[in-house]
Amino acid sequence: MSEELEKERSRVTAADEKIVPLLLERMEAVAEIGWIKQREGLGVKDVGRERKVLDRVGELAGEENAEYVQEIYREIMNQACRFQERQKGEGK
């Protein structure tokens, strides 16, 4: 493996070490939001909120990368909904 490839892979690893804790922090907030939605009798999915998130992250990513970042966030939000659905059966 080339030194250049190894260097770039190290950058990815370093980014992952920052991303995972942030994803865990996001999931903690998602859990709390799920409990609040349950108490307030709201559904898990909020299409309007999802659209706002996708628009915001698209702007943050810039025109060149918006499509890719938005697709990643679609999956993040799908998993958040899945998590909240599972949470419904657990009660708090």
Q: What is the pLDDT along the chain (92 residues), one digit of tens a residue?
A: 899 999 999 999 999 999 999 999 999 999 999 999 999 999 999 999 999 999 999 999 999 999 999 999 999 999 999 999 998 877 65
Q: Is the dihedral of CA 83, 84, 86, 91 positive or negative?
A: positive
- Could you give the CA distance from residue 44 to residue 81 in angstroms, rounded to a whole number? 6
- Could you give the CA distance from residue 60 to residue 72 in angstroms, rounded to a whole number? 13
Could you tell me if 92 and 36 are in contact, meaning their C-beta atoms sit under 8 angstroms apart? no
Q: What is the CATH classification number for the domain harbouring 66?
A: 1.20.59.10
Note down the domain range covering 47. Answer: 3-88
* 19-26, Cβ contacts within 8 angstroms, sequence gap of 24 or more: 23/76, 26/76, 26/80
Total tally of structural domains belonging to the chain: 1
- pTM of the entire structure? 0.88
